[in-house]
């Protein structure tokens, strides 16, 4: 077995974890191919994933999300090793490297996570992005609300005056959407979750759509900056008249859990203040 190791070297102490992981994998007869790029995401990410059997993402949840989206293109599974603060999605902690012995057993539990296909339609042409957590349409500067409308399969759903709107997967329901007041959705339930950001209304609530829905987001505030951000990565500036469609992607992320865990147990442990 060949394993690609994608470390986020912006995380303190990750280099020491890389060395320890490589030593453990070598003792198990597993070949480790380490990205030497000091930037994240690494530029050779695609090649590393394509030429190996599995991916280990060392860092926090953002590291895992980025690696999993690239790995989905090649149907590779990803194990997240938490070297950060929260590590909600990680399959193991950096202090528990003995769990890597299960990689040699070929009995891994893999969770298939729904992803989103996000298309920006503009006069310059269409641009397609992929999200594992969420797509966020939000205001820019100056700090003024925007007006936007939402359609589902071409039919009007709702109009907002708000700071923006989040369309999330079940995996992303515990991320930005949760902070904006959205519900927690079990990751085994395939659906699209839409949560407004600071809406100027007393009655606005999140929406949950079926997994086959196609949502269209239409910014309607002429002369005001709006941006699309996918999984907290690159921000795409939108012009008046641009639209965004969000639907379930044909790709699915494959997340490895080395130890048996229950979603709600992890939720309570990671997101409850003690």
Strands (E), the chain: 2-7, 31-34, 54-59, 77-82, 92-93, 109-122, 125-131, 134-139, 146-152, 155-162, 164-168, 191-197, 207-210, 215-219, 226-230, 235-238, 243-257
- Told to judge if 126 belongs to the known catalytic residues of this protein, a careful annotator would answer no
Q: Does the CA dihedral 242-250-92-52 come out positive or negative?
A: negative
Among 53, 61, 106, 242, the active-site one is 61
Provide CB contacts within 8 A for 40, sequence distance 6+.
7, 8, 9, 10, 59, 63, 66
Q: Check residue 181 and give left, alpha or beta (phi > 0: left; psi -120 to 50: alpha).
A: left
Q: Does the CA dihedral 107-2-97-61 come out positive or negative?
A: negative
Helix (H, G, I), strand (E, B) or coil at 21: helix
Helix (H, G, I), strand (E, B) or coil at 40: coil
Half-sphere exposure of 116 (CA within 13 A, CB side): 35
**Cis preceding linkage at 41, omega within 30:** yes
The CA distances from residue 271 to 41, 93, 263, 265, in Å, are 26, 16, 12, 10
Q: Residue 150 pairs with which residues in a beta bridge?
A: 158, 217
80, 90 in Cβ contact below 8 A? Answer: yes
Q: Report, as residue numbers or ranges, the catalytic residues.
A: 61
């Amino acid at each position: 077995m060949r394993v690609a190791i994608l470390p986020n070297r912006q995380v303190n102490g990750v280099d020491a974890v890389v060395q320890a992981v490589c030593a453990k994998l070598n003792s198990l007869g597993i070949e480790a191919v380490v990205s030497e790029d000091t930037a994240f995401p690494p530029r050779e990410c695609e090649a590393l994933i394509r030429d190996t059997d599995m991916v280990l993402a060392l860092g926090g949840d953002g590291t895992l999300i980025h690696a999993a989206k690239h790995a989905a293109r090649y149907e590779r599974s990803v194990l997240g090793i938490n070297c950060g603060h929260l590590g909600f999605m990680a399959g193991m902690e950096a202090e528990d490297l003995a769990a890597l012995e299960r990689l040699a057993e070929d009995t891994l539990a893999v969770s298939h996570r729904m992803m989103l296909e996000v298309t920006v339609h503009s006069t310059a042409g269409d641009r397609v992005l992929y999200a594992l957590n969420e797509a966020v349409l939000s205001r820019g500067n100056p700090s003024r609300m925007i007006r936007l409308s939402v359609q589902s399969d071409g039919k009007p759903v709702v109009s907002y005056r708000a700071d923006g709107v989040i369309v999330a997967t079940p995996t992303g329901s515990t991320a930005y959407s949760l902070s904006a007041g959205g519900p927690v959705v079990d990751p085994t339930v395939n659906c699209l979750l839409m949560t407004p950001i600071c809406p100027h209304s007393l009655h606005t609530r999140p929406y949950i759509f079926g997994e086959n829905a196609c949502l269209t987001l239409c910014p309607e505030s002429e002369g005001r900056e709006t941006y699309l951000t996918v999984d907290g990565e690159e921000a795409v500036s939108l012009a008046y008249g641009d639209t965004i469609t969000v639907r379930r992607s044909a790709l699915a992320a494959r997340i490895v859990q080395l130890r048996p865990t229950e979603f709600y147990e992890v939720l309570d442990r990671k997101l409850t203040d003690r």
